[in-house]
Amino acid sequence: MVQDLLPVELSTNADGATIAVLTLDQPGRPVVVIDESLLQRLDATLDSLPDDLGGFVLASSAPRAFVAGADLKAIMAMDDAGLHEYLEFGARVFQKIADLKCPTAAAIHSVALGGGLELAMHCDGLIGLIDPEAKPFLIGLPEAGLKICPGWGGTNLLPARIDAKDAIVMTANGRAMKSDQADELGLFDVTVSDAVELIPAARAWVGSQEQPTRDGAPMRCIGRDDPNELKAALNDARNELESQPHTDAVCDAVEVGIGSGWKDALQRERDHLVRLRHTEPAQEAINAFFNKGK
């Protein structure tokens, strides 16, 4: 069966370069949630893109969120082998964005949590909507609030975009930011104050960037930063954090990223996530989350 593709709009900028805007959508849902179907559609759509793109923008059609996160119920229903396979598939799809030969950016207009922010951070740049007249939206990695940890690279991606110690502590505590706070911390490369300006700003940003050299890891991950500074930030974060299985897992994945690189850090995250979801604190927190949703 031919996989349904996500919407892609191609346009040409002033320099004659072709810019692709790929829009995440899930008709019938109020927000976009990462599940196997969306990953399959994203995978097929990325494979269909022209080889000579001058820029790529990742957007979302859901008014209430860029991506609200991953489908936690589906994740909890998988056995360990199935979850490992699912996480590895998602990582391969996300990596296709990080491997694109052109500059890339995510256009974030609203909530971006968990796997949604991890997906966005596989892009080179983050373009954010900061509307002073609107209520700030949440953005961050809340997995540790459920006593688990990120599974698609968040532990190694967020510390490369904001202060490393702050990022590690927030990730280990599962604390999301409000969008205005994220802007103050430097998460966004460009911001706009009006939604109609967001996609044009993202197009302009990718069009202004030099063609990147790809090496199998996202452009912005901790493996590209000074390891001594990162080790100091990690040590400071550990001193501030209470040692718990989920906080220790986040710090361990950061440490692996510093010492062994992106792919090993991804594997360590997956191992921790699969393990942690079986622990009593995670089971209690996740059940409470589901019951709250009801």
* Cβ count within 10 A of residue 218: 25
Is the distance from CB of 127 to CB of 108 less than 8 angstroms?
yes
118 is an active site residue: yes
Is the distance from CB of 25 to CB of 7 less than 8 angstroms?
yes
229 is an active site residue: no
Is the distance from CB of 204 to CB of 125 less than 8 angstroms?
no
Out of 118, 240, 242, 269, the active site residue is 118
Out of 143, 229, 240, 284, the active site residue is 143
Active site residues: 118, 143
